[in-house]
Amino acid sequence: MKSEMQSFSDIAAKVAVRSLIEEVELTPKPGLVDQVNTGAHQDLTLQLMIKSAETLTDTFKNIAFVSYGRNPSQALREEIAAIGRIGERKMFEATGGVNTHKGAIWAIGLLVSAASIGKGRFTIKEIVKRAGEIASFPDRHCPNTNTNGRIVTLKYGVGGARGEAQQGFPHIMKFSLPMLYRSRAYGLTEEKARLKTLLSLIAHVDDTCILHRGGTEALMFAKKKAAYFLTKDNLECINTLDEEFISRNISPGGSADLLAATLFLDKIHALKAVDEVQKYELIK
């Protein structure tokens, strides 16, 4: 018989991987890999993204396992960072060196850890707060490499993936989750609700993936266009936005990761209300 800790870790990992797959399968997404095209990416495909997501199951499971019932601390920060780095290595092995989910391992890894600290009983607010606390401990073993994110956060003075997590995921709490809930309440299909959720992120996030490729001009363009398309009822016109992003080499990869993180929080919250047997049914 599985312990509660093992069951929660299995469930959290399944929900995390499912969220990544649902993000990549959502279509049409501007500039991103989806079921129709590979967006502004020459080295990514839908199949590669799905393969990458599936290789991360053990990473999320191990993060949940070591975090279960603990408190945020320097020691926990370092344990999950070590697991996260092994996850990054596995991702690069699976993709032949292409960065598919580095930002997602970071964001969802922290959220999995925080949800597990609460043994699956935390509210979303408590989860993001704990995730922010863990992310704020120094990463003493971080390799001193010049990542795209690091170069760009220094150059443009933005927070990037690190800042987003350390502040308790403000773009999820202020924009994407409220947009997902509002769109569902308004009666939109789940697909349209998720597309609006993604647009709400692109309209506000300082995405280091966009900044690194095209600087502030590209970031401003992406934010303005996403805000404009958010006012449209007919979301089929996102195809036009996709073409514009592709022609300008704009990829909102950070927003894609935050969409997956939003879906993770939504699902893990919904699972709180059901019993163990139903949980396995729901995540099958």
Residue 9 binds ligand ADE (CB under 6 A): no
**Binding-site size, ligand ADE (CB under 6 A):** 13
* Residue with Cβ nearer ligand LTSJ6FE6 (180 or 192): 180
x-marked contacts with ligand LTSJ6FE6 along 69-88 as a string, rule CB under 6 A: -----------xx--xx---
| Residue 152 CB, nearest approach to ligand LTSJ6FE6 (Å) | 7
Residue type, 221: F
Residue type, 137: F
| Residue 120 CB, nearest approach to ligand LTSJ6FE6 (Å) | 18
Q: Which of 59, 113, 251, 262 binds ligand ADE (CB under 6 A)?
A: 251
Question: Residue 41 CB: number of other CB atoms within 10 A?
Answer: 19
- 229-262 burial: b if 16+ Cβ within 10 Å, else e: bbeeeebeebeebbeebbebebbbbbbbbbbbbb
| Residue 24 CB, nearest approach to ligand ADE (Å) | 4
State which of positions 24-63 bind ligand ADE (CB under 6 A). Answer: 24, 32-33, 39, 41, 44, 49
182, 196, 207, 194: which is closest to 264 by C-alpha?
194
Task: Identify the three-state secondary structure at position 146.
Answer: coil
Residue 101 binds ligand LTSJ6FE6 (CB under 6 A): yes
Residue 176 binds ligand LTSJ6FE6 (CB under 6 A): no
Question: Residue 165 CB: number of other CB atoms within 10 A?
Answer: 23
| Tokens standing for residue 106 | 């970071």
Residue 222 binds ligand ADE (CB under 6 A): no
x-marked contacts with ligand LTSJ6FE6 along 105-124 as a string, rule CB under 6 A: xxx-xx--------------
- Round to whole Å and give the CA distance between 123 and 107: 17
Answer whether 186's CB lies under 8 Å from 126's CB.
Answer: no
| Tokens standing for residue 258 | 């935050």
- Round to whole Å and give the CA distance between 82 and 91: 14
Q: Tokens 């992003």: give the residue.
A: 245
State which of positions 161-180 bind ligand ADE (CB under 6 A). Answer: none
Residue 103 binds ligand LTSJ6FE6 (CB under 6 A): yes
| Tokens standing for residue 187 | 């009666």
Contacts with ligand LTSJ6FE6, residue ranges (CB under 6 A): 80-81, 84-85, 99-107, 109-110, 139, 142, 147-150, 153, 160-162, 164, 205-209, 212-213, 251, 253-254, 256-258
Binding residues for ligand ADE, rule: CB under 6 A, are 23-24, 32-33, 39, 41, 44, 49, 104, 251, 253, 256-257
